[in-house]
Amino acid sequence: MALIVQKYGGTSVDGPERVKHVARRVVETKQAGNDVVVVVSAPGDMTDDLIAMAHELNPNPPAREMDMLLTTGEQMSIALLAMAIHQLGEKAISLTGAQVGILTNSAFSKARILEVSCERLRKELDQGKIVIVAGFQGITNDNEITTLGRGGSDTTAVAVAAVLKADVCQIYTDVDGVYTADPRVVSSAKKLEVISYDEMLELASLGAQVLQPRAVEFAKLNDVVLEVRSSFNNNEGTLVKEVTEMEKKMVVSGVAGDKNVARIALLDVPDVPGIASALFKALAEENINVDMIVQSAMQHCFNDIAFTVDRNDLKKAIEVSEKIKPEIGASGFTYNDKVAKVSIVGAGMITNPGVAASMFDCLANEGINIQMISTSEIKVSCIIDEKHLTKAMKSLHRHFGLE
Amino acid sequence: MALIVQKYGGTSVDGPERVKHVARRVVETKQAGNDVVVVVSAPGDMTDDLIAMAHELNPNPPAREMDMLLTTGEQMSIALLAMAIHQLGEKAISLTGAQVGILTNSAFSKARILEVSCERLRKELDQGKIVIVAGFQGITNDNEITTLGRGGSDTTAVAVAAVLKADVCQIYTDVDGVYTADPRVVSSAKKLEVISYDEMLELASLGAQVLQPRAVEFAKLNDVVLEVRSSFNNNEGTLVKEVTEMEKKMVVSGVAGDKNVARIALLDVPDVPGIASALFKALAEENINVDMIVQSAMQHCFNDIAFTVDRNDLKKAIEVSEKIKPEIGASGFTYNDKVAKVSIVGAGMITNPGVAASMFDCLANEGINIQMISTSEIKVSCIIDEKHLTKAMKSLHRHFGLE
């Protein structure tokens, strides 16, 4: 008997027919002799609808109230799924983040999980119940309701799998695995059988939109084996786990594109210690995630500092930049939200020099200008003009032999 | 400075424009120098929509999961109202039943409030915030989410007003007070300036649909002054409070009708002690509220026992009757859900004999047959054929000079 955590995204529980479908799949897993914990997101576009409702009332709603509002979506999903499972004759119980004991810090809208209690989960599992957990949400020590940020249900699933030492954490989504590129953009993309945490982490961070990066990180840290599968078919998915050296055959295993990027550059910053620290501390205090950072010495004693943020953080980032400009002695700043990030990822890169150069070459041949570059051991990312993203992805996919 | 509790029903918060309207009213009350606690219901028909969704998945959803589902409605309302108030520049915080500490028993879907903690409420009020509380919901000692039954938001409001010793508990609804009869049925109905708890209690129980009976009972027990007002205009409402003898001028102060009634009769029950007890204990164990009870000796040694329940409890009540039939030695039972209850209420009745007879006379003159009668010191109720309800209400309203 295995303990399986299954996570279903919003499209999987959008409407009664889909909820019934998920219920059948869950019950099949249970009746095959497994203990099952299910983590569910809010139905379909509900989160977006709620955000729109909020903005009609207040263009800048307090994050605490936003979390209060948004957590209702997952609460609906868990209750409805529990009812559908009962109808199929299995015992099920739904639990909110608070009821499970998913303790987070109080960074509303972007809370971090501090601890997951397994007491209640174990108690219900021991009674033979299928346990349904609301994704995306947690509770602080002060009894305040928090959310983990968009896609946070993946993190919930992995955290629950980790604390219960589950055999596998299956992430059901609308694609049936991890591909060498987004199949909607690059039609020749192929599904990967297995991918390492590190590669998945880079792909997730880079906007492959299959898994939340934090969830992958959490899985890696806690040795949780992930499986990305489709809830609409029974195809084998992609396993995300520790991959041995022997398996690292492909130099580049995937290409990713991300349009949720905005670029800010602070100009003519004096080249003295403490400048970058002041800037990025101020951004962190506003809970703005900075992705790429490039510092370039343009002239003697002065630097430009450019960085990228999520587009929906751009407004706040501009406010911070405006405020910090005099403090760090910058002459001004520019921003651009018409950029995109294209990346190549592969665990094999570490032992293959020249992969980055090959990427730049490929983009140059397509006439695509590179605005920023960032590299890690297993990925290379470039900021380019948004309008070239599809072309860049397709040509890189071909260039690195992923067809 | 007064402490005012305001309760807004579902129609008052249905859509952004109405939420804004409520926000303005709340802010006006606050800016007039009062401390304000607001209790809100789920928006519009949301509760009904959620129930319909649930029934698509499971015709008999577990009550626990139903409560999990339904409590999302109020949680949405409080978050949205808090945002709208922030937008008007006042500080506000929304609190779920669990966050306030509205402790209930674990009778899911019909939970009773055991205790309301005022700690968190006081803390937020002391910080100058408008506190917005989710109506209708509570939490058990085991951290389970419960609901107080339909209309439970009134009870929440009164319980909060009681524990905070509020100066007044204003119940905003879509009518601007308590009328001598439902104005939608009896067009000549008049608004009452003041009504006693007991009269209101009878009217509420009798389906006047303005206030939840339990809320009125709670208000009477805790000396909370209620004011029923419209959220759509600024008309003076109706005060519900302890009324002195001097004020009890009208013999009959109101006429009420209720179609949410079903009648069950157990036939030929042996006339021995313990029968009624066994029957009504079995019904209570299923959490079925029994309203009227009539036991009639039909022949030597045998009785018929007839009683009424809410129509949505009829199915369960039939099941209980079926099960208990052999145990209590009944020959069978009949039921009828095409009945209605018409009632007259008035504190002056106590000192005016013959009011009941006058009511029966009036109904007889209209050719309306009376199936069951139940009386208290201040009300007389008759079960009649559903199709005669409007005629009965109109003629009683005229008969007792309420025009």
Q: B256-265, pLDDT tens digit by residue? A: 898 999 999 8
Amino acid at position A351, single letter: T
pLDDT given at position B173: 84
**Residue in chain A nearest B68 by alpha carbon:** A79
CA dihedral sign of residues B277, B283, B286, B287: negative
Contact A20 B57 (CB under 8 A): yes
Homologous superfamily of domain range A262-336: ACT domain (3.30.70.260)
Residue-level pLDDT at A156: 96
Question: Which of B76, B100, B117 best tests the A interface by mutation, with the highest count of A CBs <10 A?
Answer: B76
Chain A partners within 8 Å of B86 (Cβ):
58, 61-62, 65
Residues of A in Cβ contact (< 8 Å) with B79: 54, 65-66, 68-69, 72
Torsion sign over Cα B11, B178, B206, B37: positive
Whether A212 contacts A353, CB under 8 Å: no
SS3 at position A179: strand
Identity at A269, one-letter amino acid code: V
Beta carbons of B68 and B8 less than 8 angstroms apart:
no
Query: Chain B residue closest to A63 (CA)?
Result: B83
Could you tell me where in chain A the CATH 3.40.1160.10 domains are found?
3-173
Q: Give me the percent of chain A exceeding a pLDDT of 90.
A: 58
Nearest 5°: the CA angle B368, B369, B374 is 110
Mean pLDDT in residue range A80-95: 98
| Residues B58, A20: C-beta atoms closer than 8 Å | no
Q: Count Cα atoms within 13 angstroms, Cβ side, for B119.
A: 7
Q: In the predicted model, what is the mean pLDDT of residues A233-254?
A: 78
The answer to which of A60-64, A307-311, B218-222, B277-281 has the lowest mean pLDDT is: B277-281
pLDDT at A232: 82
pLDDT value of position B182: 84
**A contacts of B61 (beta carbons < 8 Å):** 83, 86
For testing contact with chain A, the best of B49, B66, B68 (most A CBs within 10 A): B68
Strand (E) or helix (H) holding B53 = helix B46-57
CATH 3.30.70.260 domain residues, chain B: 262-336
pLDDT in tens, B226-237: 999 988 888 889
User: Per-residue confidence at A4, pLDDT binned at 50, 70, 90?
Assistant: very high
Query: Which residue on chain A is closest to B81 by alpha carbon?
Result: A57
- Report chain B residues whose CB lies below 8 A from the CB of A76: 50, 69, 72
Q: What is the pLDDT of residue A6?
A: 98
Give the pLDDT of residue A34: 97
CB pairs under 8 A between A and B: 111
Mind telling me how many Å the CA of A111 is from chain B's nearest CA? Answer: 18
B93 contacts A57? CB cut-off 8 A: no
Q: What is the pLDDT of residue A49?
A: 94
| Among B151, B150, B211, CA closest to B179 | B211
CB-based contact A258:A340 (threshold 8 Å) = yes
Q: What average pLDDT does the structure give for chain A?
A: 90
User: Which residue(s) pair with A115 in the sheet?
Assistant: A103
> Would you list which residues of chain A are within 8 Å, Cβ to Cβ, of chain B?
16, 19-20, 23, 50, 53-54, 56-59, 61-62, 64-66, 68-69, 71-73, 75-76, 78-80, 82-84, 86-87, 93-94, 96, 98-99, 143-145
Gap between the Cα atoms of B398 and B402, Å rounded:
6
Question: Residue B188 carries which DSSP code?
Answer: T
Task: Give the orientation angle of helix A152-164 with respect to helix A119-126, to 10 degrees.
Answer: 70
For residue A62, give Cα distances in angstroms to A51, A386, B87, B135, B350: 12, 31, 10, 21, 55
**Which residues in B lie closer than 8 A to residue A93 (C-beta atoms)?**
64
- Dist CA A337 CA A347 (whole Å): 30
Q: What is the pTM of this model?
A: 0.77
Burial class (CB in 10 A: 0-12, 13-18, 19+), A202: buried
Q: Grade residue A169 by pLDDT with cuts at 50, 70 and 90.
A: very high
Those residues with Cβ within 8 angstroms of residue B184's Cβ, 6 or more apart along the chain or in another chain: none
Q: Boundaries of CATH 3.40.1160.10 in chain B?
A: 3-248
Cβ within 8 Å, pair B82-A96: no
Q: Which residue has the tokens 């879907």?
A: B109
Report the distance separating Cα B367 and Cα B363, nearest Å. Answer: 6
What is the Cα–Cα distance from A315 to B278, expressed in whole angstroms? 68
Report the 10 Å Cβ neighbour count for A166: 23
Query: In this predicted model, what pLDDT tens digit does every residue of A354-401 receive, in sequence order?
Result: 788 888 889 989 999 888 888 777 888 899 999 999 999 999 999 998
Best of A18, A27, A76, A124 to mutate (most B CBs within 10 Å, chain B): A76
Indicate yes or no: CB of A80 within 8 angstroms of CB of B69: yes
Q: In what order do the strands lie in the sheet with A113-116?
A: A113-116, A102-104, A137-139, A145-147
- Over range A312-317, report the average pLDDT: 92
Please give the distance of CA B298 from its chain centroid, rounded to a whole number. 34
Question: Given this model, what pLDDT does residue A281 score?
Answer: 86
- CATH of the structural domain A3-173, one choice from 3.10.20.740, 3.40.50.11540, 3.10.180.10, 3.40.1160.10: 3.40.1160.10
Distance from CA of B73 to the nearest CA of A (A): 8
Q: HSE on the CB side for B388, CA within 13 Å?
A: 20
- Which residues of chain A neighbour B96 with C-beta distances below 8 Å? 68, 145
Check A94 against B65: CB less than 8 A apart. yes
Closest to B208 in 3D by CA, of B72, B49, B397: B397
Condensed to tens digits (0 to 9), the pLDDT of residues B361-402 reads: 899 899 998 888 887 778 888 999 999 999 999 999 999 988
Partners of A57 on chain B (C-beta within 8 Å) are: 16, 19-20, 23, 80, 83-84, 87
Among the partner residues B16, B72, B144, nearest to A75 by beta-carbon distance: B72
pLDDT in the model for residue A402: 87
3-class state of residue B353 by DSSP: coil
Q: How many helices (H) and strands (E) does chain A have?
A: 12, 20
Per CB-CB distance under 8 Å, the chain B contacts of A94 are: 65, 68
- Record: contact A72-B68, CB cut-off 8 A: no
Identify the CATH number of the domain defined by range B3-248.
Answer: 3.40.1160.10
**Distance separating alpha carbons of residues A227 and A195, to the nearest angstrom:** 10
Nearest Cα of chain A lies from the Cα of B121 at a distance, in angstroms, of 14
Task: Please tell me the predicted confidence (pLDDT) of residue A297.
Answer: 59
Low-confidence ranges of chain B (pLDDT < 50): none
Q: At what angle do helices B16-31 and B63-87 cross, to 10 degrees?
A: 60
pLDDT score, position A361: 87
Contact residues on chain B for A72, CB-CB shorter than 8 A? 72-73, 75-76, 79
**Across the interface, do B68 and A20 touch by the CB < 8 Å criterion?**
no
- How far apart, in Å, do the first and last CA atoms of chain A sit? 39
